[in-house]
Structure 1
Amino acid sequence: MLTLDYHILICVFFLIKLRFFPPHSFDRAFLRVLGSFSARMRMRMRSRSNSSDAGGTSPNLLQDQSSRSAGQGWLKGKFPKLFRSQAGPTGTAGVGGSAITDGQQIHEEEPPVVIPTFEQNLEDRNLREAVQLLIEQEQRLFGEIRESVALKCHEEEVKKLATDREALEELVFQTLEKSLEIDGDNMAAALRSAVEAVQLEEQQDQLWRQNQRTSPSWRPSGWRKRHDSTLRRLVERRLDNEEDQKTPNNQQSTLQADVQGMGRQLKEDLLLVVKVLKSCYPPDMDICNLYARMFHQSFSARLKKIADYVLEDKDGTLLLLWVNKYYPGILQKPELVNEIDAEALGKLLPEHLLEPLEEQFLSNQQSELKTNLDNILKEEKEKWTNGDEPSREDNCYVSPVAYDVIVLLNGRVTSAQMIVGDQQKAQSITVQLTDFMKQYKTFQEDVIKQNRANSKSLIKATLDCIQQFSDVLVKKKLPLAENVRESCLCVLTDMRQSAHAYLLNPIHKVLKPHYQKLGTSDWLKKNPFEKLMISVKKELEDLQGSSPSCHQELMGRLHQEVTEQYVRRLLKGDVKLKDREKQQNAYQTITDNAESLHKLFSSMGSQEDWLKEILIKIAEVLKLQDVPAIQMQIVSLGSAYPDLSEKHVSALLKLKTNLSKTDRKNVKETLVDTLKETSADYDTRPFFCRIEIK
């Protein structure tokens, strides 16, 4: 055959090259081509020899070709010359021959280049090389096939190729099915080779799709599609096996054991994919996200089946935890976070299945929270009913109510947010806090109304609770809905006012006789005010026992109320300041009194320094004689305290009996104009609005 003659010419060319060129310059790459070519020729000759033996009519292909070549005569007598020894001055011969040295013949042979056969590649798990050989054979065979007659000539080779492909395909996909069982470099190398084989097959499928000739029966092979389906089955099997092998312990239900087992297997396998399998795949296959999608879909399908059934509370909570905490936590592991697109995966369960689970969970949380809050208040009531005094820390009465409630709410809302994965949904359970605050207020009213021996100490302890609640609500340290926050703050404000009134009203009753002498003629003699101060000091001792911040606030409240009583009695008094001297005397008395009040209450913790300034500004009005100066002082007072009214100014100016009615009118008009411009711009503490002038 011509093909065989052509091959013999190539062999002759190499024999000549061996004769005239040294071994180190020999082209090894070309030798490999020659070896591969020879291997194919041997395969063809074996095939034809087998065909001849079966039929009993055809001679051996190699013998037939050799006899024809010999008959042509053009190679006759050439081979001996090619191999004849031609020793030079150094006594060396060509490659593959022998050298004569000192009369001795030394044989030096180049080691033969061994090209692995398909069977050897298959045995060694060199799957890429094996598929490459079959593709080359496929290209040769089907490249030669033009007509159906030619196909019959290659029928045996095509059958052999198909058989080899089946063996190779089986081994490739056996290797892929064990992808998640890699425990050594050899298995990783085999997987890498299998992946490359799949890629080569995919490329060959693409070539045949573009070719107009009749393709082999196995094209397209669809190995890439089968690769994906194989991995999908592998993932299903991994989760199935993990589910079947898990047995619940004493604290777990069967469902909990199954779900946790599958989740654990998912985490371990994804870590294996990132750490090991990723290196066996090309980047374009994005194997990490491929596996992540498959595990996500499989795990999600199992959870959907579970969610379709009516679940116990703890089972529903477990599903929510896996959807919103455990599973996202796995994907956020440092090893996985940069390899897997968690956002593209989405949630494990759809909204229509999550909503009933969330509603069931949140409803239970509300019920449990209400029970816990009721128990906290119930315990406080029992202590008070039994006559117990609140405990003391650093000589201050304290109550555990606020601390217990704040810790409870923080824990419940934080836990709920973690389980449902949404802060607003989690905050919905805090609606119970509004009812609790109202009950707490009702309880405080009962304590005040019954006024038992331990009521005053409990109210002092309650003030500290009110302060703690207010701090966390104002600073938004508690995760509450805004409407709940505002409602609770309103209740706390009422409770604080009520507690202050309960503690301070008895003091004002004692001080009332002293208040009544303010604004009278005796007042200017200082005796009434000095007696007032003595009584205040004595009564302040009974207000000890609140926490430092609450005591400071209570002292500030009393400081303001005493100052209000002072101004009220002054404006309602019957003292007449007819001339400059009496007005100057009143000015000095008021400023001295302001300083005394300031020193006393500051020493007790009050921070209300502004109260002193009010009295001084009032005293300045009484001292001034010029109307314009009086107008300026009233403007200053009205600007600082916009709740100053015309009635207040009128009552103050009436003390200055030497001021005409017209002058008083002008001063009041100046105040009105000032208030129109400034009242909307000030947000000051109320003072004059608490002093009613008829």
Structure 2
Amino acid sequence: MLSMATLFHGPPGQQPEPGALDFPRSPQKLPSASEAESEASMSEASSEDLVLPLEVAPGRESDKAAKKEKKKKSRGLASVFSVFTKGRKKKPQPSSAEAEGEPEPRPQLADRLPTVEELKADLERGRLEAAGPLLALERELQAAAAAGGASAEELVRRQSKVEALYLLLRDQVLGLLRRPLEAPPERLRQALAVLAEQEREDRAAEAAAAGRGAPGLAPTRPRRWLQAWRRGVAQAAEERMSRRPAADAEGRSEAERVFVHMGRTMREDLEAVVERLKPLFPPELGVVAAYAESYHEYFAAQLEAVAQFELCPRDTYMLLVWVQNLYPKDVINSPKLAGELQGVGLGSLLPPKQIRLLEATFFSNEAASMRELMARALDLELKCWDQDAAPQKLDGHCHSELAIDIIQIISQGQAKAEEITPDVGAQMKRVLQVELAAVLRSYQRAFDDFLESSKHLGNYRANVIANINNCLSFRTFMEQKWQTAQDLLSHLLNPLNELKSRGFDTLLQGLFGDLKPLFKKLSQTRWAAPAQTLEQIICAVRERLPEFEELHDCFREELMEVIHLHLVKEYIIRLSKRRLVLRTPEQQQQLAGHILANAELIQNFCTENGSPATWLHRALPTLAEIIRLQDPSAIKIEVATYATWYPDFSKGHLSAILAIKGNLSSSEVKSIRSILDINTGAHEPSKPLFSLINVG
């Protein structure tokens, strides 16, 4: 940032004193006799005048400085005006009080122009009313040259006097405009009227091709006082904007402090122009546009130079924020300036190509930063697993900070981008989705390793539950904050769904192991006492349910759906073992009755404990109906309907169920099986049931 500081502020020892909007009263350098020196001296003045209260009169030091300036100007112009006084007795000079007060107009005779000496005296006293007679004197000289009656020497002598007077008038006018808010309003209006009149004369001279000068006279127009004033405005803007910003306690970088300083200075100064100068300036001078363009051009030049540096991530971000957000919103469209600057057309502080390069750098920086921060958060979680640390409890649920940490990192990155522009925020969302998908895949793989290697740890199950609970925070964030296409959302959620599924398997492994011998009893007893056996199964599940209370409610319901599916699936597996053959309708009706009773028991228990699996309600009752029915046509209708609800119900599964009905012929079985060859259409969405059941 040292090189950048030099860029903003110039060589050491040449910087203005720090401080926001202070107004030094030190004397200003007065213009010299030459036009070039006069322009330079005018431009050296600070634009601090823009915010100086009109009612504040100069102090004593300023009075002294003004007197010194008068003396310097008189001495500096002495050689120019020597032609006026050569051979004449020196006239007494006016008192300082007379010079500094509001000049009284010199009484003139109606039938003659003032003499050169009289005009010189008037101008030295700051009497801008002399501008009119001086213009008349210039026109009289042009008429004399056109008439051809005067000698070349006489014309040169007379023109030199006129130009010397114009130089004095120019210094008076531009001197007032250099510090416009220190001048009395009426004096400022006079200076502006003279400037506007001179601009009209320049345009008229250019239109008439008179700028080449009359015969015997050197060309003097266009004099371009308006351009000189605008150059002074530009130099005043540069002086104001290039001040070294004061150090702050907010920890801003050098570039940030410079941006803030320039933005604040530009806004406050332009507000002063709108409020205090615009009412005094003629509309054709465009005072607001002149100042706005000067400040904007300096601001843009500084930022474009800054953009060439290899910036740190923070300064790259701040540069984009200023160019695309703060400058257009808080400066150009601030409440006091928006209406005034609409027609000025200042444009952007940086060209579009440079902005795109900065945005690409910003996206790259942010992706790298968030990748590192999220990896650090995940590593911290893994250390807690390895150290067998117990997870926190939040509202009775096992809680991990990992999801909160990662969501905060993502949200902060999104917010930063949106502070630049909404479009940059939309582009950043795509970057964030890529980075989040990557870290979630890493998270899922690490969780799989933990499930396999850490079963011996005391807080193993609690940490499994805590990480299943994490999935809710991630899912809620993505669904609510990223309203995106369903396929993309599914892609982002896949690692979390896999993590949750593996976690459920781990939590239910012991329970399902305990249920396995109980389900075997159903087929081993040839369904002699199915109700009692199923009661034992339900009791075993009920006893284990408190183990899952530390899951969030939504996951407890999902877990209950997994249990519900397991109970139905295992029941169907036992029915499909081909060990039970019932040859009479009465036996089949009795078994169907048992199945219906058991289905109701399973459904009631699971529903009461939160299972949302209504899609399983038809699984067992319809199989019971297929076993009960005796008419092959009626069985066909039931099978066809069943296949619409469970499209993974295959001929193999149907054959295993029909094997129970020992009174069906092989041709009838074949005919019933053929109904599955017809695509009757499945109800959506369908979930796997029979695809989880293998039949031999």
Larger RCO: 1 or 2 (CA < 8 Å, sep 6+) = 2
Which has the larger displacement, 617-626 or 536-545?
A: 617-626
Equivalent position of 1:610 in the other structure: 615
Q: Is the 8 A contact 2:126 2:172 kept in 1?
A: no
The total of aligned residue pairs comes to: 580
Corresponding residue to 1:41 among 96, 108, 111? 111
Equivalent position of 2:262 in the other structure: 262
Equivalent position of 2:506 in the other structure: 502
Write the letter of the residue equivalent to 1:433.
L
Gaps of 5+ in 2: 1-104
Equivalent position of 1:228 in the other structure: 230
State the TM-score, normalizing by the size of structure 1.
Answer: 0.72
Alpha-carbon distance in 2 for matches of 1:236, 1:459: 64
> Closer, same or farther in 2 for the Cα pair 1:120/1:642, shift >3 Å?
farther
Q: How does 1:271-286 map to 2 (within 5 A)?
A: 271-281=271-281
Shift of 1:547: 1.8
Equivalent position of 1:104 in the other structure: none
> Closer, same or farther in 2 for the Cα pair 1:524/1:411, shift >3 Å?
same
Equivalent position of 1:376 in the other structure: 377
Q: Is the 8 A contact 2:515 2:540 kept in 1?
A: yes
Q: Deviations over 1:416-437 (max 9, x none)?
A: 5546982325753665434432
Which has the larger displacement, 634-643 or 396-405?
A: 634-643
Write the letter of the residue equivalent to 1:236.
E
Secondary structure of the residue aligned to 2:111 is helix
Equivalent position of 2:518 in the other structure: 514
> Closer, same or farther in 2 for the Cα pair 1:436/1:218, shift >3 Å?
same
Equivalent position of 2:177 in the other structure: 176
Shift of 1:587: 3.5
Q: Is the 8 A contact 2:578 2:656 kept in 1?
A: no
Secondary structure of the residue aligned to 1:382 is helix
Q: How does 1:358-377 map to 2 (within 5 A)?
A: 364-377=365-378
Alpha-carbon distance in 2 for matches of 1:187, 1:650: 108
Equivalent position of 1:298 in the other structure: 298
Shift of 1:347: 3.9
> Closer, same or farther in 2 for the Cα pair 1:430/1:529, shift >3 Å?
closer
Q: Deviations over 1:183-238 (max 9, x none)?
A: 6xx65555555444443333333333333667563322323333332322221222
Q: How does 1:134-213 map to 2 (within 5 A)?
A: 134-135=134-135, 138=138, 142=142, 146-149=146-149, 161-179=162-180, 182=181, 187=184, 190-191=187-188, 193-211=190-208
Q: Deviations over 1:314-345 (max 9, x none)?
A: 55554444334443443342223343359954
Equivalent position of 2:83 in the other structure: none
Q: Is the 8 A contact 1:366 1:430 kept in 2?
A: no
Equivalent position of 1:348 in the other structure: 349
Secondary structure of the residue aligned to 2:341 is coil
Write the letter of the residue equivalent to 2:279.
S
Secondary structure of the residue aligned to 1:576 is coil
Alpha-carbon distance in 1 for matches of 2:185, 2:488: 60
Which has the larger displacement, 505-514 or 532-541?
A: 532-541
Equivalent position of 2:403 in the other structure: 402
Shift of 1:549: 1.9
Equivalent position of 2:685 in the other structure: 683
> Closer, same or farther in 2 for the Cα pair 1:415/1:559, shift >3 Å?
same
Q: Is the 8 A contact 1:397 1:461 kept in 2?
A: yes
Alpha-carbon distance in 1 for matches of 2:360, 2:397: 44
State the TM-score, normalizing by the size of structure 2.
Answer: 0.72
Which has the larger displacement, 299-308 or 595-604?
A: 299-308
Secondary structure of the residue aligned to 1:674 is coil
Equivalent position of 1:79 in the other structure: none
Q: How does 1:219-618 map to 2 (within 5 A)?
A: 219-240=221-242, 242-243=243-244, 246=246, 251=251, 256-281=256-281, 287-312=287-312, 314-328=314-328, 329-341=330-342, 345-350=346-351, 364-416=365-417, 418=419, 422-423=424-425, 424-425=427-428, 428=431, 431-449=434-452, 450-451=454-455, 452-477=457-482, 488-518=492-522, 521-522=526-527, 525-618=530-623
Write the letter of the residue equivalent to 1:399.
S
Write the letter of the residue equivalent to 1:389.
A
Q: Is the 8 A contact 2:469 2:551 kept in 1?
A: yes
Shift of 1:455: 0.4
Larger radius of gyration: 1
Alpha-carbon distance in 2 for matches of 1:366, 1:425: 9
Alpha-carbon distance in 1 for matches of 2:648, 2:396: 39
Alpha-carbon distance in 2 for matches of 1:649, 1:375: 54
Q: Deviations over 1:552-605 (max 9, x none)?
A: 221122112222222232233433344443443344333322222222122222
Q: Is the 8 A contact 2:202 2:221 kept in 1?
A: yes
Secondary structure of the residue aligned to 2:581 is coil
Write the letter of the residue equivalent to 1:612.
H
Shift of 1:130: 6.0
Q: Is the 8 A contact 1:428 1:481 kept in 2?
A: no
Secondary structure of the residue aligned to 2:679 is helix
Q: Is the 8 A contact 1:427 1:481 kept in 2?
A: no
> Closer, same or farther in 2 for the Cα pair 1:425/1:654, shift >3 Å?
same
> Closer, same or farther in 2 for the Cα pair 1:570/1:342, shift >3 Å?
farther
Gaps of 5+ in 1: 1-34, 52-116
> Closer, same or farther in 2 for the Cα pair 1:158/1:592, shift >3 Å?
same
Q: Is the 8 A contact 1:461 1:546 kept in 2?
A: yes
Q: Is the 8 A contact 2:320 2:420 kept in 1?
A: yes
Write the letter of the residue equivalent to 2:563.
L
Write the letter of the residue equivalent to 1:491.
P
Alpha-carbon distance in 1 for matches of 2:132, 2:648: 96
Which has the larger displacement, 251-260 or 402-411?
A: 251-260
Shift of 1:311: 4.7
Equivalent position of 2:640 in the other structure: 635
Percent identity of paired positions between Structure 1 and Structure 2: 25
Alpha-carbon distance in 2 for matches of 1:545, 1:160: 101
Q: Is the 8 A contact 1:132 1:200 kept in 2?
A: no
> Closer, same or farther in 2 for the Cα pair 1:194/1:477, shift >3 Å?
farther
Write the letter of the residue equivalent to 2:399.
V
Q: Is the 8 A contact 2:599 2:621 kept in 1?
A: yes
Secondary structure of the residue aligned to 1:279 is coil
Shift of 1:503: 0.7
> Closer, same or farther in 2 for the Cα pair 1:674/1:255, shift >3 Å?
closer
Shift of 1:501: 0.5
- Measured on the aligned residues, the alpha-carbon RMSD in Å equals 4.1
Q: Is the 8 A contact 1:289 1:341 kept in 2?
A: no
Write the letter of the residue equivalent to 1:388.
A
Alpha-carbon distance in 2 for matches of 1:462, 1:192: 76
Shift of 1:134: 4.9
> Closer, same or farther in 2 for the Cα pair 1:212/1:666, shift >3 Å?
same
> Closer, same or farther in 2 for the Cα pair 1:281/1:624, shift >3 Å?
farther
Q: Is the 8 A contact 2:414 2:428 kept in 1?
A: no
Q: Is the 8 A contact 1:398 1:464 kept in 2?
A: yes
> Closer, same or farther in 2 for the Cα pair 1:274/1:357, shift >3 Å?
same
> Which has a greater percent of helix?
1
Shift of 1:401: 1.2
